[in-house]
Every structure is written in structure tokens, then in C-alpha cells.
Amino acid sequence: MDPTYHPLFLKFICYFNKNQDYFECHEVLEEYWKSIPNYTKEHPLTAYILLSTGLYHWRRDNFNGAFRTLLKAKQRMLDQDCHMSGIDGEKLVKDINQSIDKVKNTEPFSLFTLSLTSEKLKVLVEETASTMELLPRNSNAVIHKHMLRDRSDILEQREKKKGRPF
């Protein structure tokens, strides 16, 4: 990734490191990913989207979903050289491996942060965080976010895909 960081990637790091709002991590990265012309599932951002999803599942004690998703995230990280400039990729893979082991053993959720190696990135993340309203870490609004929002549009799309009227 170009060291001129995309604003949505900066928000992703803020959500990931500041309040562990993995749902929002997924949302902002998906928006960024879909803004890329001819985006595909092979794009490096998808590894970070999967990572966020896996951690969201784990925090909510969905060990099966977390295990499968974190494995996919790790594999994509390794296959696609997903180490973004300014993030310690070696430590990240190690953290993912430790998380996978804990999930496999149904251990309680434990967080890790993205280790930033670029001073420029650290400054940009702090500047971005200062403009964001972050929900309290470990609040129900963060942990159960998908349950607390209006999902009617998602449910309608799901039913349309199945060929059923909503």
C-alpha cells in the first residue's frame, strides 16, 4: 500500500486499536475496498476485513465463525502479501496465530493491536482519531453492533437473492 494512506484505512486502524470496534473496522474497509476499480476478493484489504470479522465473532463467543474466519484471514495475509506499509506484518501474523490457538481452545476473547512501524502513520492515526467519536471499548454498542442497527435493508437483499418477496 502506498504510504499516502487512504482516510478509510486510517479510520480502520483507529477502530481496531482505539476501541476494538471490529464491526466498524469491517464497514470502513469494505467501503474502501469497493471503491477500488475492479475490486476482487484477492485484494489485500480483504484479509483485514476477514480479520475484523473473525475478531468480532470471537468477542461474541462465536468460536466456530471466529476460527474459520481467522484462518481465512491468515491464509490471505500469507498468500497475498497483505502487509501494509507501516504495519508490522510479522507481528500481525504472530498475533493472528495466537488468536487462532485461543479460539480453537475456546478461550475468552483477548485483543491485540496493530503494531505501527511508521511514525507518519502513527501521527495520521492520532489526527484521524481526534476527529472521530469512538464508542466506549467493551460497550454493548461495540460488542453487539450488528444486533442494534436497522437491518431491514440487509434482510430484504438476502430474501431477494433467494428469490423470495420480502
> Which pLDDT band holds residue 166 (cuts at 50, 70, 90)?
very low
Is the alpha carbon torsion for 59, 146, 25, 125 positive or negative? negative
> Which pLDDT band holds residue 82 (cuts at 50, 70, 90)?
low
Q: What is the pLDDT of residue 83?
A: 63
Q: Is 61 left (phi over 0), alpha (psi -120 to 50) or beta?
A: left
**Which of 74-78, 141-145, 149-153 has the largest mean confidence?**
74-78
Q: What is the pLDDT of residue 4?
A: 78
Distance CA 22, CA 52 (A): 5
Helices (H), the chain: 7-14, 22-34, 45-59, 63-79, 89-104, 119-129, 140-143, 145-148, 152-161
7-161 under CATH 1.10.3450.10, yes or no:
yes
Q: Is the pLDDT of residue 66 over 90?
A: yes
> Which pLDDT band holds residue 151 (cuts at 50, 70, 90)?
very low
Is pLDDT larger for residue 146 or for residue 107?
Answer: 107
Q: What is the pLDDT of residue 2?
A: 41
Cell 484471514 belongs to 73
Average pLDDT in the 90-98 region?
95
Q: What is the pLDDT of residue 148?
A: 53
**pLDDT digits 0-9 by tens, 11-58:** 999 999 988 899 899 999 999 999 999 999 888 899 999 999 999 999
**pLDDT digits 0-9 by tens, 139-149:** 555 565 555 55
From first CA to last CA, the distance across the chain in angstroms is 41
Confirm if 11 and 121 have CB atoms less than 8 A apart: no
**pLDDT > 90: percent of the chain:** 61
Distance CA 132, CA 12 (A): 11
Retrieve residue 34's grid coordinates: 469497493
Q: What's the whole-number average pLDDT of the chain? A: 85
Residues 6+ apart with CB under 8 A from 60: 143, 144
What ranges do the domains of the chain cover? 7-161
Q: What is the pLDDT of residue 42?
A: 86
User: Dihedral (C-alpha) 132, 112, 143, 162: value to the nearest 10 degrees?
Assistant: 100
